Structure 1
Amino acid sequence: MAKSATPALGSFTPETLLKAYRQMVLIRRFEEKAGQLYGMGLIGGFCHLYIGQEAVVVGLQAAAQPQDTVITTYRDHGHMLACDMDPRGVMAELTGRSGGYSRGKGGSMHMFSREKNFFGGHGIVGAQVPIGTGLAFAHQYKQDNGVCLAYMGDGAVNQGQVYESFNMAALWQLPVVYIVEDNQYGMGTSVQRASANGDFYKRGEPYGIPGKLVDGMDLLAVREAGDWAINHARSGQGPALLHIKTYRYRGHSMSDPGKYRSKEEVEGFRQNQDALERVRQLILDNKVATEEDLKALDKEIKDIMTDTVEFAQTSPEPDLAELYTDILVEAAV
């Protein structure tokens, strides 16, 4: 039986906090390695890294249950790993190998896992939001007590399909949590220049959807907000909206030099608000683990990354016959 949470750890127990920290380290190291492989020409196409935003998806997945579904944007590797997808399969997909989750045909932005209830990253801005609303309808229809976590970026919040989804979800009281990962820049444009009102947590008010503003660099705050939103949706009260303010350390994608913001701004977040370091310090302050324990964890993750990269580089490329698979599904009526 798990130990009860202590006030200093919020909704986490020592065991679940360590698990969350491990996931955050795994995501950080995976994304760093993906950036290296991209620079070596081993990853083609677009590649959007999640470095800096790890507390968002890890905190929310800690509040979720196994039957819940997840759908997100093209900045999706962290979400896959937080859903316990195999890093080897994720990295192999990035390198276009047959061992990848979409057998090497989807790349960074398009991979899925029905087993893990992960319904994909999506390359069209905002397109995943109505699909997530449909997943919530499926939960309601099947009466499986599931909730859909539908992620979007601050750039998607101004898309019309988002508000069509809000209206439908509120009208039918669907079990969905809409999550705005506000990393403060849509591609190269700051939120201040792109949104007349940046209080995204209020965007659901016309539809009766309650919202909360959350510090996305604070794992405990994200988990607390996730508990509230998911419980709200699961209890039959309809959708909830979370506006989670976070920050990405790298460019919008690997092809983005990021000249629209200063080095001082980025370093300020790294030095003063880094989510990974904040959790690490929390663990040490509350004697959940020792420095030696965390060093051992770092080594474990490093070994996993070595194995992951080797698998991604040695897995065979897809056979030419794969050009004709997964094109059409014949379903019985």
Structure 2
Amino acid sequence: MTVSHVVGLESPEGRYRMLRLIRGFEELALRLVRSGAITGGIHPYIGQEAVAVGVCAALGPQDRITSTHRGHGHVLAKGADPRRLLAELTGRVGGLNLGRGGSMHAADLSLGILGANGIVGAGAPIAVGAAWAARQAGEDGVAVCFFGDGALNQGVLLESLNLAAMWRLPVLFVCENNGYATTLPAATAVAGSAVGRAAAFGIPAVEVDGMDTEAVRAASDLAVHRARAGEGPTFLECRTYRFEGHHTMERRMKLRYRTAEEIEDWRARDPLPRAAATLGAGRTEQLDAEVERELAEAEEFALASVHPDPAGALDHLYADGYRPRAGVVA
């Protein structure tokens, strides 16, 4: 049996609410990028929400996740406070990591969120290590590694698949295949298939409709059950799509590598209307209003939080609080 997480993803209403929260959070973040409150831009998760919600609905508080540069959805779905995540994006001390991690490195270890990661594929060995540690401690925790199709050719991912298979570790590898590694179509860069990578290591691999929250949840439930039962890792390839660009800089650069028709075809499969269709119209309006209030509170909290004091720039940089010797330029 899986243990539903405290964020309430065990019900269709809870899953719809989280979908709406992630979508609204990303739309708010885009607005704050345009206003300058978020510097450096973000990698929007809009369109891919069903993957984060469907997977995290199968997890419990004892489970851990590693994320990617496009990680806000994963972090929220695992239970992070949207106020503190937004404060992190705006570089404020009220953030999850005191404003030092930013968009691509947000973490909350108390919730099993071992961190987003700006290095492609780098979350895989961390997840494998977390799974091994849980088993050594006699715990039934499962580790989930989210990654994109761009990571499929990274050696560290293949090494992680091998180790997880050899040691039958409780890991769920989740490939969010949105069809593009930045602007490069996956079909022109990946020989074979995503599920074929896992199958080569003897890992059960399933291709899932990543625009369908319930399909992702069902596949994740089975994978998590296998992992808790000691049957080893599972690989999910979630076919999904990002409605926005790879990064917010893309609009300014006016890149043209996708057609308007392709984007609209995928928008017709938007996971939010699909989830809303299972609820009454009145209930979705209530949940939407709740989310709007929560996001307004998040924006107020984030922008009211102060920026870090430059005098403390080296705090938390070294293990155990060590600082460089006097006279050493950091």
Give the alignment's TM-score, normalised by structure 1.
Answer: 0.90
Partner of 2:297: 307
Give distance in 2, aligned partners of 1:182 and 1:46.
Answer: 22
Partner of 1:39: 34
CA 1:14 to 1:52, structure 2 compared with 1: closer, same or farther past 3 Å?
A: closer
Partner of 1:219: 213
Are 1:209 and 1:241, in contact at CA under 8 Å, matched by a contact in 2?
yes
Alignment-mate amino acid for residue 274 of structure 2: R
* Aligned-partner SS, 1:207: coil
Alignment-mate amino acid for residue 198 of structure 2: G
Give 1:15 deviation, angstroms: 6.7
Partner of 1:295: 285
How many pairs does the alignment contain? 311
Give distance in 2, aligned partners of 1:165 and 1:295.
Answer: 43
Cα deviations across residues 255-303 of structure 1 (Å, max 9, x unaligned)?
A: 1135100112111211x201011011122xxxxxx32221121111111
Are 1:133 and 1:176, in contact at CA under 8 Å, matched by a contact in 2?
yes
* Structure 2 segments unaligned to the other structure (5+ residues): 1-7, 322-330
Give distance in 2, aligned partners of 1:149 and 1:27.
Answer: 19
Are 2:33 and 2:41, in contact at CA under 8 Å, matched by a contact in 1?
no
* Aligned-partner SS, 1:204: helix
Partner of 2:112: 117
Alignment-mate amino acid for residue 296 of structure 1: Q
* Aligned-partner SS, 2:277: helix
Partner of 1:231: 225
* Aligned-partner SS, 2:249: coil
Give distance in 1, aligned partners of 2:170 and 2:261.
Answer: 41
After the TM superposition, which segments of 4 or more aligned residues of structure 1 sit over 3 Å from their partners?
none
Partner of 1:191: 186
Give distance in 2, aligned partners of 1:319 and 1:281.
Answer: 48
Are 1:45 and 1:107, in contact at CA under 8 Å, matched by a contact in 2?
no
Give distance in 2, aligned partners of 1:38 and 1:169.
Answer: 39
Are 2:195 and 2:207, in contact at CA under 8 Å, matched by a contact in 1?
yes
Partner of 2:307: 317
* Structure 1 segments unaligned to the other structure (5+ residues): 1-12, 284-289
Partner of 1:56: 51
CA 1:219 to 1:195, structure 2 compared with 1: closer, same or farther past 3 Å?
A: same
Are 1:48 and 1:252, in contact at CA under 8 Å, matched by a contact in 2?
yes
1:242 aligns with 2:236: yes
Higher mean C-alpha deviation, range 200-209 or range 35-44: 200-209
1:133 aligns with 2:128: yes
Cα deviations across residues 283-330 of structure 1 (Å, max 9, x unaligned)?
A: 2xxxxxx32221121111111111111111111111223312111223
Partner of 2:274: 278
Give 1:170 deviation, angstroms: 1.0
1:91 aligns with 2:86: yes
